[in-house]
Amino acid sequence: MISAKIFLRNSRSVRAAFFVSMFIVMGLALERAGVAQTSTRGPQPMQPAEQVFKNIQVLNGTHAADLQGTMSFIASSLGVDCDYCHVQAFEDDHSKPKLRAREMILMVRRINQETFHGENVVNCFTCHQG
């Protein structure tokens, strides 16, 4: 935990990247980060993930176009590949790590809401560190 703090303090750009990623993971409106105006054109990218993908249970309301980035962030935070959680079709839930990851997403959201006044301070990397 201590090394994570130092790491984050020492690298502003890495820290900024984490913030952007966690806005996505937490399902906060990207508009608040000032990103949406420049990165979204037309209806397709604006579509909520749950309308495009088959089995979205916790990332509801995030933009479908951001799902890939969120997944890459999660995978690199854990130091694993996609198939660590996705063994068959991506929507398939017969995967313990995938179910665990859903619980972790909810936990991280709760920690940030209850302890950090809604700021995205804690994310997957904070604990897992690749």
Q: How many CB atoms lie within 10 A of CB 31?
A: 10
With CB under 6 A as the contact rule, the residue among 33, 61, 88, 100 that binds ligand HEC is 100
Binding part of the chain for ligand HEC, among 10-18, 34-42, 69-77, 112-120 by CB under 6 A, reads 69-77
What CA–CA distance (Å, rounded) separates 120 from 122? 6
Contact pick of 72, 113, 115, 129 for ligand HEC (by CB under 6 A): 72
Does position 126 interact with ligand HEC (CB under 6 A)? The reply is: yes
Beta strands in the chain (DSSP E): none
Q: Cα 25 to the chain's mean position, in Å? A: 3
For 42-47, the CB contacts below 8 A with 24+ separation are none
Please give the residue ranges that form the binding site for ligand HEC (CB under 6 A).
25, 53-59, 67, 71-72, 74-75, 78, 80, 82, 84-86, 90-91, 96-98, 100-102, 104-105, 108, 122, 124, 126-128
